[in-house]
Amino acid sequence: MRVEIAIVGAGPWGLAVLDRLVTAARRQPRLALAVHLIDPDEPGPGLHKPQQEDFLLLNTVTGQLDSFSARHFGEPPLTGAVPFIDWLRTARDIEADPNGFLPRALFGAYLRYVHAVLCDNAPSHLRIAAVRQRALDVSLAADGQARVHLGDGSALTVDHVFLCTGHGLAPAANGPAPSQARPMAPYPMAPLQARIEAGSAVGISGTGLVAVDVVAALTAGRGGRFVREEDGMLRYLPSGREPVMFVHSRSGTPFACRPAQSLDLSGSFAPIFCTDAYLAVRRAARGPAGLQLDEDLLAALAAEMRAAYLMRALTLSQGVDAAEACRHALGVLAPAEVRAFCEATLPSMAEFSPEVLLASTPAPSPRSAAEFSATFAARLRFDVDEARKGEAHSPYKYAVEMLRVLRGFIRQAVEFDALMPSSRRRFFDVVAPRISQLVVGPPIARGLEWLALMRAGLLRTDLGPAPALERDAALGVWRARSRAFETPFVACLDHLVRARAGHRAIDTQDGSLLAALCRSGLCAGAVLPQPADARMRVPRTDTLGHPLDATGLPVRQLTLLGVPTEGLRYFNHYLPSPKSRSRVFDSIQSALDAVWVRLAPIPAESGQATDIPAFERGS
């Protein structure tokens, strides 16, 4: 039997699909398989262009990156399939620190290598073709197939389409041209660098990873240098080509740095409160209405974080036995009782508030721009100091890292409408971005750089949280006004950069492939609640990633993976790797099992998942 599969988006997630297809083909010589990798750019790097500037760093430590799935599944590796850190040693003669953060350009070169390895390991009955075109739309064809419509006017008819379009940051051919009347896009960096003049005032909307990139581009990317002082802090030596940057965000909180050393406890940590049994009890109590965000999810997370903080603090001060005794005592408590127990055992824990960290309890409002700026810098300095200790030696970072370790628990609690509607909206709009800010941060060096730039007067936070921004077309500037202070702070900005990751919803009027699918009804999606723009949709899929059409039925010829499913699924913007970033491999495998069953329906053994096509089982 001949099977044709299209993978739209040939970045890290598209390569993960190709990885599982190569593995399946090598095991099944009777599977004649053709794979079309559709992407206007070269297969492999995605956003991690090998030619991009070295000041743009990865936000994942080197030792955790492995784009091949064999280690996750316990399979023999493909010939040449090595983790990123091993490739650096053999291909670039770089002995990398496993806890270090390297340039994205290097990882892009590794992804180019991953693509080459997968192609080299493809058996003769697997044909891989790179299609350097933009996919504009997908329609259904006869005989249960799908047709991918390409930018050059041609179309490919295939048996199945995997949509791995990621953040979709590449501008569509029919998208709007850059305009002074709209905020600037952060990527690609070259247009941004060309438009922003030295000494100009620039508003940067966001204080997360995208903002970190923009600030790096406008400082180190313009020849500025950071030098280390005797106290370990940095001092900035300007090139004279920098603008003055006004960073701001809705929450007004700085990013959090990754710990100097990570324990990576995903899969090995035994939670006390955030368990499958706990969720089962809460679901039974709530019934079909769904879980409640504060009482059911955040209460358990806060209890687990406090317990982790206390046990790590006791381990460091009194030893493992004291921490284990504490664990037994915590095990008989309800989540609501944990705070009082922890603060009675360790009074300094009164200053540790998961509720404030997760934005479920508002922090005190600053009275002035000066007070806010001082608080912002103090919070960032505190986080840098804790991150320098490493996860094992900082009870604070150890507790915060629970939000990454417990990602599977959070997914069970929120995905596929498990939360009641009002809770679901607040989780994805407020809590999920805050969790990302806490555990998907940049390296410590970025925190030190921001502190140095603030001291140099080039990075300012005077606008506070959620400032008002208005375009003055007559003067050609943006007027920014603080909203949180007794005496408002006002600034005239020459430029405004939209330095946030894209909204989780799909704009049905843009030129993207997902928008086309929404308009045609193949991926109807759900309308965001008012007062949101009625053009925006949150994609809907079944548990295998098949989009639900306008009638609510799954389109089994298509599978959505990764970022496009954010809002229905939780946390899909990561690089496929083992441990905490491995769900992509399992999702792809489940989707492929469904493809094989659909194309040659022979019942699989109950409860078993396999990458062996149904028409080959038992042969």
Question: Closest Cα partner for 173 from 152, 195, 157?
Answer: 152
Rounded to the nearest 10 degrees, the angle between the axes of helix 369-389 and helix 444-455 is 150
Q: Is the pLDDT of residue 187 over 70?
A: yes
| Domain end position, chosen among 419, 440, 461 | 440
- In the chain, the number of structural domains is 3
Residue 176 lies in a domain: no
**Are 217 and 312 found together in one domain?**
no
The pLDDT score that the predictor gives to residue 608 is 42
Structure tokens at 324: 């284990």
Q: Are residues 85 and 193 in the same domain?
A: no
User: What is the rounded average pLDDT of the residues 194-204?
Assistant: 97
Evaluate if residue 609 carries a pLDDT over 70.
Answer: no
Residues 114 and 233 in one domain: no
pLDDT over 50 (residue 606): no
How does residue 510 score in pLDDT terms, banded at 50, 70 and 90?
confident
With 60 as the cut, is the pLDDT of residue 218 above it?
yes
Which DSSP string corresponds to 303-342? HHHHHHHHHHHHHHHT-HHHHHHHHHHHTTS-GGGHHHHH
- CA nearest 185: which of 414, 509, 495? 495
527 compared with 445, residue with greater pLDDT: 445
Q: What is the pLDDT of residue 535?
A: 74
478 with 427, same domain: the answer is no
Residue 519 lies in a domain: no
Within this chain, do residues 313 and 251 fall inside the same structural domain, yes or no? no
Q: Between 534 and 235, whose confidence is greater?
A: 235
Q: Is the pLDDT of residue 530 over 80?
A: no
Q: Is 526 inside a domain boundary?
A: no
Cα(615)–Cα(595) distance, integer angstroms: 11
Do 396 and 294 sit in the same domain of this protein?
A: yes
- Domain check: are 87 and 210 in the same one? no
Residue 107 domain-assigned? yes
pLDDT at 362: 62
The 10s digit of each residue's pLDDT in 324-342 is 999 999 999 999 999 999 9
What's the mean pLDDT in 291-309?
Answer: 98
pLDDT digits (tens, 9 = 90+) for 412-447: 999 999 999 999 999 998 999 999 999 999 999 999
Quick one: 46 and 125 in the same domain? Answer: yes
Residues 349 and 476 in one domain: no
Residue 616 has pLDDT above 90, yes or no: no
* Amino acid 619: pLDDT: 35
Of 420, 410, 416, give the one whose Cα is nearest residue 292: 420
Do residue 304 and residue 225 come from a single domain? Answer: no
pLDDT at 612 over 60: no
Read off the pLDDT of each residue in 445-450 and give the average, rounded to a whole number: 98
pTM of the prediction? 0.90
Strand residue runs (E) in 428-583: 459-460, 468-472, 477-481, 490-493, 495-498, 506-507, 526-527, 536-538, 558-560
Domain containing 119 — which CATH number? 3.50.50.60
pLDDT of 355 over the 50 cut: yes
Whether 175 maps to a domain, the answer reads: no
Q: Which of 145-149, 261-265, 359-363, 539-543 has the highest mean pLDDT?
A: 145-149
Region 342-348: mean pLDDT is 98
d(CA 351, CA 349): 5
- DSSP assignment of 85-154: HHHHHHHH-----TT---BHHHHHHHHHHHHHHHHHT--TTEEEEEE-S-EEEEEE-GGG-EEEEETTS-
Percent of the chain residues past pLDDT 70, beyond the cut: 92
Q: How confident is the model at residue 582 (pLDDT cuts 50, 70, 90)?
A: confident
Q: Are strands 225-228 and 234-237 parallel, antiparallel or unpaired?
A: antiparallel
- The reported pLDDT for the residue numbered 93 is 98
The average pLDDT across 30-38 equals 96
- Residue 249's domain is classified under what CATH number? 3.50.50
pLDDT band at 564 (very low <50, low <70, confident <90, very high): confident
On the question of pLDDT at 169 being above 70, the answer is: no
Query: From CA 131, how far away is CA 147, in angstroms rounded?
Result: 14
Quick check: is 515 in a domain? Answer: no
Do 200 and 245 have their domain in common?
yes
Mean pLDDT of all residues in the chain? 91
Is 222 found in the same domain as 153?
Answer: no
Residue-level pLDDT at 176: 55
Q: Would you say residue 336 lies in a domain?
A: yes
- Tell whether 182 is covered by a domain: no
| Local confidence band at 604 (pLDDT 50, 70, 90 cut-offs) | very low
> Under a CB-based contact definition with an 8 Å cutoff, are residues 394 and 382 in contact?
no
Among 110, 111, 120, which residue's Cα sits nearest to residue 26? Answer: 120
Q: Tell me the residue range of the domain where 488 lies.
A: 189-255+444-497
User: Which whole number is the average pLDDT over 339-352?
Assistant: 98
Query: Around Cβ 483, how many Cβ atoms within 10 Å?
Result: 12
